[in-house]
Amino acid sequence: MNFYIIIPAHNEADSIGLTLYSLVNQTIKPKHIVVVNDNSTDTTQSAVEGYAQKHAFISLVNNKSSNQHLPGSKIINAFYKGYETLDDNYDVICKFDADLIFPDNYLEQLAIHFKNDDKLGMVSGFCYIEKNGAWILENLTRKDHIRGALKAYRKDCFLKIGKLKPSMGWDTVDELLAKYYSWHILTDESLQVKHLKPTGISYNKASKYLQGEAMYKMRYGLVITLISALKLAYKKGSLSLFKDYMAGYFKAKKEKIDFLVSEDEGEFIRNLRWRGVLGKA
């Protein structure tokens, strides 16, 4: 299978070399790797250039954007800068973070999963973080959710869901839309990926309301938003986040921000979420 990999990178000089090293040493080599150097002020560019000189399938795109780290739009806009440089001869398109170390059979195992199930739209391993000298499962991990750090899409699924949405919540709405269009999603717990920077470590204050806004844009409705916001705040160990999430939801509702999904898709999403709440999905 032809794997095309896009890696947005902002000030990732300390980790991008480790990520690329793990990818160039895969048992199945990717067809293309594009690193988008997104307004970095460190030596990310030179680190990537060193690998690009040695490996013809690695390329670098330099992108100018805001220094403000807002989850969602910034990283997906950078993704598209890389995507625009690629042809469409891929079987699987991947959006990977620039701070991951993959096991050497990662792509090979993804290919096996995709070949074994024609309706498999997305697949990934699990993220592990270092704590007290040991690598442990990152606490945001769920078996029914593929982390935004390591997305891999079958081409037909990627196109059917309308590609990626430049918004907070992009890495949830993609899965919900995949299910809407009857694609399967799989996480393989045997594929342990080292995540060098825990999720959200660089998020700034301006981003704190975006999670609630995303719930509004996915047409969750008030009750499901309340439940989801409370669960997420609890998992992140800060119940004060619940207030921020709900403020973001009501702000988006007041301003009538555009939805990410259609009415039919929204109804499907709400029903799916309710089945999850009631333990039926």
Using the 3D structure, point to which of 195, 217, 243 is the last residue of a domain.
Answer: 195
Q: Are residues 64 and 149 in the same domain?
A: yes
- Between the alpha carbon of residue 146 and those of residues 19, 46, 133, 179, 180, the distances in Å are 19, 31, 25, 13, 16
- Both 239 and 182 in one domain: the answer is no
* Whole-angstrom distance, CA of residue 137 vs CA of residue 160: 31
pLDDT, tens digit (0-9, with 9 covering 90-100), for 163-205: 999 998 999 999 999 999 999 999 999 999 999 987 655 555 5
Q: Is 55 contained in some domain?
A: yes
Count up the domains in the chain and report the number: 2
pTM: 0.90
Which residues are registered as beta bridge partners of 121?
Answer: none
Domain edge (last residue) among 195, 219, 235: 195
d(CA 242, CA 27): 43
Residue 232 shares a structural domain with residue 127? no
Which structural domain range is residue 157 located in?
A: 3-195
Question: Which of helix, strand or coil describes residue 117?
Answer: coil
Same domain for 270 and 227? yes
Residue 202 forms part of a structural domain? no
Q: pLDDT (tens digit, 9 = 90+) per residue, 138-163? A: 877 778 899 999 999 999 999 999 99
Please report, as a single letter, which amino acid is at residue 144.
D
Residues 272 and 233 both lie in one domain: yes
Q: Which helix (H) or strand (E) holds 220?
A: none
CATH assignment at residue 57:
3.90.550.10
